Structure 1
Amino acid sequence: MFLEHLIEQILPTLIAAIDLIGILVVVVTVVRAFGAYLHNLFSREQYDIKLRLADGLATGLEFKMAAEILKTVLVRELNELFILGAVILLRALLSLLIHWEMKGESAAAHREQKL
């Protein structure tokens, strides 16, 4: 009883903190990628923006998925569990697509280096 009450009190704050970390990772990644994009426009050096952006988005998404998984502890109704499951599934699919894109970009970069 005490442990359940403690979890119900602490977990929402913990979930919000993990969600915020995920959001911050995405925002910082986007700002850095935009800075690299501007640098690419005005200099001869070229940074691989797509790979960096995809990596940061995947990392941010992992934090968001961790928060969603923790939310399953607080679920009280079956309907909430279905919604939460759908959100987790969509985020997992997004994560897989981002990793697939990163793998393709990495392979393309290796081919370009060999040429």
Structure 2
Amino acid sequence: MDVHALLVLIIPVISAIIELIGVLIIIYGVVRSLFFFLLSRGNLMASDPKLDLAKALAYSLEFKLAAEILKTVVIQTLDEFVILAAIVVLRVILTFVIHWEIENSEKSKLVNRIDEMKK
């Protein structure tokens, strides 16, 4: 059996496992964020639950992106490549937006703490 044939058999299984890890991270992040949201008595302005969820989503997207990159090894047609490239681009954009949101939330959290210390 040649290496390419072996990769065609193994890569879909490995990428499915990596994507499952990403899904589990999302579920964990949602449950954790919901727990903190309930602890804050449903305060929609509390940044900790939102920040927690954003971090989980960003981390999950890294796993999903890794799975997509692995799938590039077994692409056989141009149509598959275009679809995979579109998925990768969308996930990269989502990752950048989520990281930007995390940075802004952390900065505003830090500014709020500094303001509280000044008072």
Q: Please, what TM-score do these two structures have when normalized by structure 1?
A: 0.92
Partners of 1:94 and 1:68 in 2: how far apart? Answer: 14
Deviations 1:83-113 (CA, angstroms, capped at 9, x unpaired)? 1001000000000000000010000000000
* Residue ranges of structure 2 left out of the alignment (5+ in a row): none
Partner of 1:106: 106
Letter in structure 1 aligned against 2:73:
V
User: Relative to structure 2, which stretch is displaced further, 3-12 or 29-38?
Assistant: 3-12
CA contact (8 A) 1:40 1:47 kept: no
Gaps of 5+ in 1: none
Which secondary structure does the structure 2 equivalent of 1:100 belong to? helix
TM-score, normalised relative to structure 2: 0.89
Shift of residue 8, structure 1, vs aligned partner: 1.3
Structure 1 stretches of at least 4 aligned residues deviating more than 2 Å after TM superposition? none
Partner of residue 10, structure 1: 10
- 2:61 aligned with 1:61: yes
1:95 corresponding residue in structure 2: 95
CA distance in 2, matches of 1:99, 1:78: 31
In the TM superposition, residue 47 of structure 1 has moved relative to its aligned partner by 6.9
Q: Aligned Cα RMSD in Å?
A: 1.4
